Amino acid sequence: MNDTVLYEVTDGLATVTLNRPEAMNALNVAAKEALRDSLRRAASDSGVRAVLLTGNGRAFCVGQDLKEHIGTLEGEGDPLGTVALHYNPIVSAITGMRKPVVAAVNGVAAGAGFGFALAADYRVVADGATFTTAFTDIALTADSGLSWTLPRVIGAGRAADLLLFPRKVDAAEAERLGIAQRVVPGAELDSVAREIALRLAQGPTRSYAAVKEALAFAADHSLEETLEVEARLQGELGSSADHRAAVTAFVRKERPVFRGE
């Protein structure tokens, strides 16, 4: 691990912070490796029940560090090998994590940075933040899952528009399009995003994992197939300690305490 990404766990919440503010959290190799490893660490730590992903400084993440990339293009080897090596594992770590991931989008999210935000389960966005696909401006195509997530979130026509004609989508439009689930004043972003992520960290972790699994499955399967998956997942949750505790608390008119079990 290195200081391009900060990792902290408190109260069951892992906070993963991109920490290259001087470079707008552009992703050089060190940052990509640290982000991938931090997310895997959070996924495998049973003490972590939710993850908050954010950036230090005025950007959330502007994607690939193009100042590093130009060197790779001019050197030997496979300049775009980083997609399989870094970007894909980062996105898979976020989407495959059996716990909720909240992105606190503090500033511009461009290219892969936009992709990471959309891979998260919930986006809390500062009112001054913007989103841009950026890829075709540098003669690339979408990566970091954007060609899968973006049309599902905003529709195929709008996704094609943003990918063919990259522009900055402001927070208000992001909220209208469904990119942002919540927009808050910049000064309140940290506290609101943390409050939301902590609430998830104290919630029924296995239920959240099942919601993630079912939504991902339903995205490319039939209703009949999805009904089967829902039945299996519900069956598994039926014998969970959190479900028993919640129903007992409901009947007793008490607040349930979820242990993520």
In the complex, the residues that contact ligand T3D under the rule CB under 6 A are 23-24, 26, 62-67, 69, 79-80, 82-83, 108, 110-112, 132, 134-135, 137-138, 140, 143
CB of 81 to ligand T3D, least distance (A): 8
Enter the DSSP assignment of 27.
Answer: B
Residue number of the CB atom closest to ligand T3D? 63
Which CB sits closer to ligand T3D, 159 or 198? Answer: 159
CB of 176 to ligand T3D, least distance (A): 20
For the sheet containing 50-55, what is the strand order?
Answer: 5-10, 13-18, 50-55, 101-105, 122-126, 182-184
Task: Report the alpha-carbon distance of residue 223 to residue 186 in Å, rounded.
Answer: 40
Taking alpha carbons only, the member of 174, 180, 141, 179 closest to residue 160 is 141
Which CB sits closer to ligand T3D, 64 or 240? Answer: 64
Helix axis angle for 88-96 and 29-44, nearest 10°, is 20
Q: For residues 96 and 156, is the Cβ–Cβ distance under 8 A?
A: no
CB of 85 to ligand T3D, least distance (A): 10
Which CB sits closer to ligand T3D, 73 or 251? Answer: 73
Which CB sits closer to ligand T3D, 25 or 207? Answer: 25
CB of 117 to ligand T3D, least distance (A): 12
Radius of gyration, CA atoms only, the chain: 19
CB of 83 to ligand T3D, least distance (A): 6
Which CB sits closer to ligand T3D, 169 or 196? Answer: 169
Task: Report the alpha-carbon distance of residue 121 to residue 136 in Å, rounded.
Answer: 26
CB of 144 to ligand T3D, least distance (A): 6
Which CB sits closer to ligand T3D, 20 or 123? Answer: 20
DSSP 42-69: HHH-TT--EEEEEESSSEEE-SB-HHHH
